[in-house]
Amino acid sequence: MSTNKMWGGRFSRGPDAIMEDINTSIDFDKRLAEQDLAGSLAHAAMLGAAGIIESADAEKIRTGLETIKAELAAGTFPFRRSFEDIHLNVEARLAELIGDAAGRLHTARSRNDQVATDFRLWVRDACARADLMLKALQSALLAQAETHAETIMPGYTHMQPAQPVTFGHHCLAYVEMLERDRSRFRDAGKRLNESPLGAAALAGTPYKIDRAMTAKALGFDGPMRNSLDAVSARDFALEYLSACAIAATHLSRLAEEIVLWASPAYGFIKLSDAFSTGSSIMPQKRNPDAAELVRAKVGRILGAFVGLLTVVKGLALAYAKDLQEDKEPVFAAHDALELSLAAMAGMFGDLTVDAPAMRRAAEKGYPTATDLADWVVTNLKKPFREAHHIAGAAVARAESLNLSLEKLPLSELKSVEPGITDAIYKVLSLEASVNARTSFGGTAPLRVREQIAFWKERL
């Protein structure tokens, strides 16, 4: 077998076929091609400006890399497994295009700082895309919130009817969650925005390079301050995966609600044909498969986070080949999250709300019992714990008569607490309960519209 040209003269034979299979990463790290070219263009320009290579060679390298960029855009770049990764594929193609000058590109750098730079650039872009896609979902939720600022639905605790809320208020809860997700991606993008390029293999380089120049060219805030950390750190990828996992968990919660709401048992919403499927043998079925798949994606994304955390937990400084296993989980989590965000934005922008069904459900379970207790506290000046007991007794009485609290006769209420008057009925309707929740962040339509205005301006 022939010597591997990229590894140099240390090896007299090429790798075994099994070694080649386990070592080769081009099948997945070709996704870093755009970032690899950007890093190489910045590095070549710096080498030329610093006089480390001849300006003529720097220009040849630039021209060759621009040709490769065009080939990648056209889909004609020849990816080859014989060159194990994206870096060697680009370098080999560059040599075919410009000859010996291509060999000067790798001066003062290593694949260690090269891949760390490429990966940071890719994750930085992924953070920015996640932010934009989360914003699109927020906008879809906000549109539903504005339409349904007064649409009453049951609010649940322990999946039991608790107090009435509005569907608009419910939608805005997810807008808040997604904003925190956006902030996590933005923070991760800021924290990772330092350049490893120039750290070389692990110790830096004796060449008089200008790391600030390449950092600026690539949009980094500056170069990383420690060469060992620069080539070995993958916490930026872990932070990205952590943000993905938390965001996916929020999507999964929303997906679970869509599945419940779309079922005949609830009947709160109807998904369009675009986001429903049928059954192979039951013609009546409308299955919320998109929501179910979004709900399931969190397993894949969380698995990616745990998997990479396990890879890096025991690695001594600096670079080890274990770190080749960093990209596949990140790519997989990225793809699953972006697909989930697109699907969820589509579903929520497209669903139809059955307001009467929501209201009927909100009438069940005596949801205004707390309002009764609050009335007793305010009007009869009783301690809340005593008022709570009175309201509970009234619920028991209404339940025995199969009546709602709103329909329970005054005589029955007086049998529980003689001080109760007919003024109590002003607080026992669903509308009265919802409208009374005027504290900041409450479900009263007045407050919901205030939050809608806030989010419309912010988004």
User: Is omega for the bond preceding 44 within 30 degrees of 0, making it cis?
Assistant: no
pLDDT confidence of residue 162? 87
Q: Which two tokens stand for residue 109?
A: 């750098």
Do the Cβ atoms of 201 and 175 come closer than 8 Å?
A: no
pLDDT confidence of residue 130? 98
For residue 266, how many other CB atoms are within 10 A of its CB? 17
Catalytic residue among 12, 158, 411, 439: 158
Pairwise CA distance, residues 347 & 144, whole Å: 11
The verdict on whether 169 is a catalytic residue reads no
pLDDT confidence of residue 236? 98
Task: Of 241, 237, 250, give the one whose Cα is nearest residue 294.
Answer: 250
Q: Count each helix (H run) and each strand (E run) in the chain, helices first.
A: 18, 4
Task: Of 87, 198, 178, 182, give the one whose Cα is nearest residue 128.
Answer: 182
Do the Cβ atoms of 333 and 304 come closer than 8 Å?
A: yes
pLDDT confidence of residue 5? 53
Catalytic residue among 55, 263, 279, 415: 279
pLDDT confidence of residue 70? 97
The verdict on whether 334 is a catalytic residue reads no
Do the Cβ atoms of 211 and 198 come closer than 8 Å?
A: yes
- Helix (H) or strand (E) run with residue 331 in it: helix 327-350
Pairwise CA distance, residues 311 & 313, whole Å: 6
Q: What is the block-wise mean pLDDT of the chain (459 residues), using blocks of 10 residues?
A: 50 63 79 96 98 97 97 95 91 96 96 96 98 98 97 93 95 98 98 98 97 98 98 97 98 96 94 75 75 94 96 91 91 96 93 96 93 95 95 95 93 94 94 96 96 96
End-to-end Cα separation, the chain, in angstroms: 60
Instruction: Transcribe 107-166 into DSSP letters.
Output: TT--HHHHHHHHHHHHHHHHHHHHHHHHHHHHHHHHHHHHHTSS-EEEEEETTEEEEEEE
pLDDT confidence of residue 271? 87
pLDDT confidence of residue 25? 82
